[in-house]
Amino acid sequence: MKALVFNAAFIGILGSPPLLTVLGGIIGLVLLLPFTYEMEAVPAFALLLGMYAVTSTSDTIASVMLGIPGTSASQATVLDGYPLAKKGQAARAFGAAFTVSAFGGVVGALIMAASLPILLPMILAFGVPEFFFLGVLGLTMVGALAGGSILKGLTVASLGLLLTTIGYAASTGVPRYTFEHDYLLESLPIIPVVLGLFALPELLEMAVRNTSIARIEASDSKDATLMRGVRDVLENWWLTVRCALLGTYIGMLPGLGVSIVDWIAYGHAVQSAKDKSKFGTGDIRGVIAPEAANNATKAGALIPMIAFGIPGSLGTAILLGALVIKGLKPGPEMLIDHIELTFSMVWDIVIANLVAAGLLMIWSKQVAKVSFLPGHLLVPGVAVFVLMGAWLASAAMGDWVSCIAFGFLGYWMKQGGWPRPPLILAIVLGKLMEDNLQLSTQVYEGYSWITGRPIVLFIIALVVLTLILAVKGVIKTNNTPKKEDAVIAGEGSGKNPILSLPLALLFLGIFVWAPISAAGWEPEAQQFPLVVSYTAIIFLALIIFTDFKEVLLKVREASGLGGAISASFEKADFARSTSFIAYLLCILVATVFVGQLISLTAFVAIYLWRWGNYNWKICLGYAAVSWAFIYGFYDQIMHLFFYPSMLFG
């Protein structure tokens, strides 16, 4: 059994987003499931859990090295993990992350074993109203913590919620905001959105400024080693324990736990710290807290599946299917008649986390060196991964259009000081929140459930407390100019009102248009878009007022609007940035005529030649390797459907 767990953990690492670009653990579980049909139950779950348990460990690599959330559970890691990589401390971030991931996974598994018999009342106390407000709490935390403006964070979260209403309404079957395009009928795929919003702006910055991921020389980061990260964990052991406990118990909440746990842990780390000055700019505690929590969540998520047959995520849904295939029934008999299988799952998770942490410790030392490579060598290769990763969503040209469009939006948001993480978390939670809101209003015939349930009131109090503490931190920062607040100095910290104001006006137009377009729908289909839109319009009115005042100040400083716009565009490297985006659009056009193999390979060669000024040997060699990888992996191994080009089919 140990060998099966080891092999599955190794496959889980290879199936991590940095290598296969958001292929992730779900597809890995699907691929492994057929191999378990002829196995006994214990070795079958050893194989599956070996894969399932480690994806929250290996996804750290993408979060730290590229600033891309490898999974929904690693969004908060980006806030401090990627800044650490920019400082040349990627190895330190890996050392801390993999250590606490192993600890969190082990603690989560042990707590799972101890808690199984006593958790029935706790889980049954949560109904749809509580799940709705847990989503509100998660969005409030990310909106308040990921950026310099709380209002902008909450507005971006509202935009993400509105995007989740694209496609058929679950309650009525009405198609919403599809613009009569079949691609949008099943909702907007999240993979192209995530890759566009986070990966493309970082690639654009490396291309425009010809910088490596790390902004310092390798010789200046000799103290930022894997062992330094391990020591950081030992110094913050109490934070690690608290976040592992948070991760386990929040992970028990079906559907929401894995999505919000890293933000709750990150928020706890920020609010409990005496010195908040470096959060968001590369504070190791901002890596330790979410990574300890998200790995502990894996064990917690198994509890409702085993005890009640309630899968809280796609991964646990596949594991539930495996239980059924083996003729097992979730419920009390798993704790009585099949207790040996249940506890074998505990040890599977423990062993898998220890194996994965050890393997990644060995491997990540070499991965960290990539952060010092020249930017022009990294950009074309990563761009191929990103675009092909986006294509995995539905193998439609809409995936690339969505990826590039959100890449431009992510660049605009980054330059204008709008945080991006709230949008992704909102897209993850949106469908669940809409379903829970509608069920709550239908079951309780109105909104009495808001004030009539103690747990709902407690969660509302946490939301209010989060906002109060966040506002208090911003006010304190504004009154103490010599000491920057870290959260303000991190994601969403850009101060460019000339770019921020047009984006605010664009968002206002979207939120005004959304209710107008919903006028003819049935009330159930209108409810969620209207609530989200009207709330966002209030936020945007305040944002536009503030941005307009800052624009007037910039215009006075530049002695005219033209000078202010010119200075703003120069600060954002607008000309070179739009040129890079034009290259991506050329890939789209070329794909229509000659297909992806040729268009992506040509992009690699032309980019290295025009932007990197490399000689023809390097350009052609790099392009040939890219062609071989695209053809060999995506075509021959994954049998992915490529776009049928006009010339080559």
pLDDT tens for residues 507-519? 999 999 999 998 8
pLDDT of residue 209: 81
Indicate whether 96 and 145 sit together in one domain.
Answer: yes
Among residues 567, 590, 575, 602, which one has the least CA distance to residue 645?
A: 590
Angle at 649 between CA 605 and CA 24, to 5 degrees: 65
Task: Supply the pLDDT for residue 590.
Answer: 94
**What span, in angstroms and rounded, lies between the C-alpha atoms of 62 and 375?**
16
**Helix/strand/coil for 176:** strand
- With contact defined as beta carbons under 8 Å apart, do 335 and 309 qualify? no
Q: Cβ neighbours of residue 237 under 8 Å, at least 6 residues apart?
A: none
- Enumerate helices (H) and strands (E) in the chain, giving the number of each: 32, 2
DSSP string, 272-314: H-S--TTTTTS-THHHHHHHHHHHHHHHHHHHHHHHH----SH
Say if residue 475 is in the same domain as residue 526: no
Q: Which among 557, 577, 597 is the end of a domain?
A: 557
| CB burial of residue 372 (10 Å; 0-12, 13-18, 19+) | middle
Final residue of a structural domain among 480, 495, 510: 495
Closest CA to 433 of 163, 38, 55: 163
SS3 of 455-472: the string is HHHHHHHHHHHHHHHHHH
Q: Is residue 402 part of a domain?
A: yes
Q: Are residues 382 and 527 in the same domain?
A: no
pLDDT of residue 13: 46
Residue 600 lies inside a defined structural domain of this protein: no
Residue at which a domain ends, from 541, 557, 573: 557
Residues 481 and 517 placed together within one structural domain of the fold: no
* DSSP assigned state of 633: I
How many other C-beta atoms lie within 10 A of the C-beta of residue 3?
Answer: 11
Can you give the pLDDT at residue 513?
A: 95
Is the Cβ–Cβ distance between 142 and 149 less than 8 Å? no
Measure the CA–CA gap between 227 and 217, rounded to whole angstroms: 20
Distance between CA 155 and CA 536 in Å, rounded?
A: 5
Residue 67: name the closest of 280, 266, 267, 244 by CA.
280
Q: Could you tell me how far CA 46 lies from the centroid of its own chain?
A: 27
Regions of the chain where pLDDT drops below 70: 1-28, 30-31, 55-56, 70-73, 115-124, 146-148, 215-223, 254-258, 308, 310-314, 331-332, 335-336, 473-494
pLDDT at 511: 96
User: What letter represents residue 385's amino acid?
Assistant: F
**565 part of a folded domain:** no
Two tokens at 215?
A: 């902004």
Query: Rounded to whole angstroms, what are the CA distances from 246 to 10, 273, 485?
Result: 27, 17, 25
Q: What range does the domain containing 78 cover?
A: 2-495
Please give the share of the chain, as a percent, with pLDDT higher than 90. 19
Distance of CA 90 to the CA centre of its chain: 19
User: Do 515 and 473 share a domain, yes or no?
Assistant: no
- Number of domains within the chain: 2
Q: Is residue 572 part of a domain?
A: no
At 10 the pLDDT is: 46
Q: Are residues 533 and 490 in the same domain?
A: no
Taking alpha carbons only, the member of 467, 546, 458 closest to residue 501 is: 546
Both 456 and 517 in one domain: the answer is no
Q: Tokens representing 470?
A: 């966040």
d(CA 36, CA 52): 14
Three-state DSSP at 318 gives helix
**Cα 57 to the center of its chain, rounded Å:** 14
Kindly state whether residues 459 and 516 are assigned to the same domain.
no
97, 64 in Cβ contact below 8 A? yes
Residue 175 backbone phi and psi in degrees, to 5: -75, 130
**CA separation for the pair 497, 417 (Å, rounded):** 8
Within a domain: 624: no
